Amino acid sequence: MLAFLPLVAAIYGPAARKEGVVVATASSFDEEVLKHDGPVAVQFYAPWCGHCKALKPAWKKATKALSPGTIKLVVVDATTEGALARKYGVKGYPSIQVFGSNKRKPETYQGARDESSLISGLRKMAKSGGDKSKPKPKRASSSGGGGGGHSGWGAGSAVEELGDSDFESRVMEGEGLWLVAFYAPWCGHCRNLEPEWKAAAARLEGSGFKLGAVDATQATGVASEHGVQGYPTIKFFNRGAATPYEGGRTAEDIVGHAMSALETSGVEAEVPQLTSAEQWRSLCGKKGTLCAVAFLPHILDSGADGRDAHIATLKAIARRNRRLYTFLWSEGGAQPALEEALDRCCASYPALAAVSLEKGRFALMRDAFDEKHAATFVGGVLRGGIRTEPVAASALKVVSVEEWDGKDGELPEEEPLDYDDDDGTVEGKSEL
């Protein structure tokens, strides 16, 4: 990740900020975007992205032409703010999303990226929201305090913010398991629950069980449909079937309920690709968590079918070991520093390592990579039957990589030699 810092500065560093470019992070996104009265255009970019670099001049001019009266322009480095980018479905760079009258459901800008097109396109999207984007939503008030200004539970956390427009498709029609809290911003019991809810969501990230939150004072349709009469109301949704949640309200209670539900549900475990240092810290840095990291063959060696088979093996093991393990995979050679720190783990691929960032220990599987041996390995590490080695957390460095697109790999085309037109010599070469 450190290798990317100079590139970040080259796109939207201190000089760009002095010229009016607003740079947002997970900690400031709520204030810069979600709480802003008017529409906001957010560019999610990557420091190494050529199209992002090419967009910079037009973006800076659009910032001066449009902000702050028409539409506010903000940039987010998606490689360092991975959770934020994933929350808004960012798949490629640059991705420009306009947060208009409904800040929870941004619209993607699909127009051209030259200066004129960008300015006119964003101006048009800003106007399409009319005056609806200006007023703050009305909040219920109470003598208990805490009226307006609450931004929702999803900002900066793993909690999924839900509303009338997406509850049906994401929860009722989905295949996953959910606990959903219906809350009111002014409710004291809800505010007590919120940090526990966020802590539990962070621990459950990647497990296949999601925690959702619905502001019942705004999403009145879905709240009414599910009989919400008091706050907070918590319901468990199993593939769309709703039942009241009657468990405890600490993070430990919530996680325990989720894990028990997962073990009896048959819901497939999630095994994400390791793509950034932020993701590594988020998933593997949780207290009491062991990470099982598989290093899979290069896509040109295994093909898509071979890689899918390896991931299926991991998912089968992950389903039986969700309580203490988080499973990830990486393409062999994509994380050289990580592999080096793990005792040069991978003489060949696939390979499997168990890592505890909390304890600074790791173990390597020495057997063949199949479901039987991998299950024995992860179980043996938990029971203490497999020897572990020390490793400094600072040595476990992860760099940002592009997410696999699910397709077979393609051999890169060889570029022809660049001959000089005048003398027929190859450019950049000289005779001895």
- The verdict on whether 190 is a catalytic residue reads yes
331 membership: H or E segment, kind and range: strand 325-331
Q: Say if residue 225 is exposed, middle or buried (CB neighbours under 10 Å; 0-12, 13-18, 19+).
A: middle
Instruction: Say which of 190, 284, 345, 346 is annotated catalytic.
Output: 190
d(CA 283, CA 278): 9
CB atoms under 10 Å from CB of 198, counted, come to 20
∠ CA 172-173-174, rounded to 5°: 95
CB atoms under 10 Å from CB of 87, counted, come to 19
Q: Could you tell me whether strands 72-77 and 325-331 are parallel, antiparallel, or unpaired per DSSP bridges? A: unpaired
Which residues have C-beta within 8 Å of that of residue 356, sequence separation ≥ 6? 289, 290, 291, 362, 388
Instruction: Say which of 52, 291, 345, 346 is annotated catalytic.
Output: 52
- The verdict on whether 52 is a catalytic residue reads yes
Instruction: Say which of 187, 284, 291, 345 is annotated catalytic.
Output: 187
Instruction: Write out the DSSP string of 81-111.
Output: -HHHHHHTT--SSSEEEEE-S-TTS-EE--S
- The verdict on whether 346 is a catalytic residue reads no
Residues designated as active site: 49, 52, 187, 190
